[in-house]
Amino acid sequence: MNEYDSNRIKDFTKKIGYLSTTKIDEANCFVLNTCHIREKATEKVYHEVGRVKKKFRNKEKPIVLIVGCVAQAEGDLLLMREKYIDAVIGPQSYHNINDIILAIESKKKIKLNYTEFDVINKFDEINLNKNTDSKVSTFLSIQEGCDKFCKFCVVPYTRGPEYSRSLDEILKEAKQQVDNGSKEIILLGQNVNAYKYNNKRLSDLLFALEKISGLQRIRYTTSHPKDLTQDLIEAHGDCKKLMPILHLPVQSGSSRMLKLMNRNHTIEEYLKLIEKLKIKKPTMKFSSDFIIAYPGETDKDFEKTVQLMKEVKFINSYSFIFSPRPGTPAATLKEIDGLIAKKRLAYFQNTSNDVKSEYRNQLVNTIVNVLFENKVKDENKYFGRDEHFNSVIVESNTKLSGEIKEVKINNCNQNTLFGEVVSASKKVKVEYAA
């Protein structure tokens, strides 16, 4: 979501003559887009601002803007502690960035904190600005905010309540992306499968996107189990451009812990969803998020989380020790001893790595369909992803970017598959274990 927001900020600021640069010392304006999901994000802001101050010690000061969820959550604190910051702009207010920059340029007296939940006007402004992202695989924001109020999560407080964009405007932006060269679109939302606009749901949007000529692949993230409705499950079997991989955060393998977290689903319900999706789409694979050592987690609760990993065999997982977020209900709970938490995390990640390694080794000597995104810098190699979002690298003397090719996987490591493009004369399909 932040990457998408950053790209749209660039589209906005082009209108007032600001172009992006990779050279910090030549910048006239420094925009730091931030995330508040994990701890220490605020300290990273001060570190980055300190880096800018050092670069411009003997030069004219650039405009310094802090954007995103840290700005939303701790904007007043940032402005009070670091006077070098010119303004803070929340994630639902960045469409005002041009007016803010122009006011600072002209040295007008303006307010410094822009953190209103102005998502309607934000999307209206986004709709008026053409998306210029020209990558093979691009992000497209369709929904923001969350109404679930999991006790550990800061999103409802930094992104606001759930709000969905107009289906027509989403399709318009998707067509712009395809015209720019995109072959794959990844739909984004804090709770993307909660999408609902004028009785149109995510499944309706998926089938509408499928009709766009030139668009070859569709993905979406991140989902909540409570909004994985039957029509969406059906879409996974019937929408041909929708890839057979779903990121479905579960957070814990213990129903008791899920209740403490206010997740509003049980492990039994979660597993039934997995089963339904596999029946509808036998090639479906899953990835998930896990919070380790959430307050109140016992050894038995943790063992259930490990067991869930082994049972579902998530091909990717993102696991972290519980990180209390200021302002959330869980922030006041008694934390589990740090040594115990680290031990549990290490054990869980070793288990998940074993599951992932077993899956990747099964892919060796099979053929997968890869959408190639770009050339590996300074090498005769190309990077792409298969249908299950696995990273794949091949050597090639011909340009592959934007092409979907069949690739025979020769070997792998923990993060990447390595293979060769299959020539027309050598196309032999190989089955592999599910």
CA distance 250 to 273: 12
Q: What CATH number does domain 2-116 carry, 3.40.50.620, 1.20.1250.20, 3.40.50.12160, 3.40.50.2000?
A: 3.40.50.12160
Query: In the CATH scheme, what is the code of domain 364-426?
Result: 2.40.50.140
The stretch 188-194 carries a mean pLDDT of 95
Share of the chain above pLDDT 70, in %: 96
Could you report the per-residue pLDDT of 330-365, keeping only the tens digit for each?
999 999 999 999 999 999 999 999 999 999 999 999
The CATH 3.40.50.12160 portion of the chain extends over 2-116
CA distance 120 to 124: 6
Beta strands in 103-154 (DSSP E): 113-114, 137-141, 143-144
The CATH 2.40.50.140 portion of the chain extends over 364-426
* Cα-to-chain-centroid distance, residue 269: 24
- Supply the pLDDT for residue 217: 98
Continuous segment of H or E residues that includes residue 395: strand 391-395
Q: Would you tell me how many other CB atoms lie within 10 Å of the CB of residue 32?
A: 18
Query: What's the Cα-to-Cα distance from 354 to each of 16, 34, 412, 418, rounded to whole Å?
Result: 51, 33, 14, 19
Query: Is the separation of the CB atoms in 325 and 153 below 8 Å?
Result: yes
- Supply the pLDDT for residue 430: 44
CA distance 244 to 237: 9
Of 9, 3, 6, 2, nearest to 129 (Cα)? 9
Query: What's the Cα-to-Cα distance from 67 to each of 30, 42, 74, 101, 189, rounded to whole Å?
Result: 10, 12, 11, 13, 18
- Looking at the predicted structure, is the pLDDT value of residue 429 above 80? no
Least confident of 19-33, 81-95, 370-384, 415-429: 415-429
The pTM score is 0.86
Q: Cα-flanking dihedrals φ and ψ of residue 413, to 5°?
A: -125, -165
CA distance 243 to 241: 6
Could you report the per-residue pLDDT of 269-320, keeping only the tens digit for each?
999 999 999 999 999 999 999 999 999 999 999 999 999 999 999 999 999 9
Could you report the per-residue pLDDT of 43-70, keeping only the tens digit for each?
889 999 999 999 999 889 999 999 988 8
Query: Is the separation of the CB atoms in 320 and 291 below 8 Å?
Result: yes
CA distance 215 to 155: 31
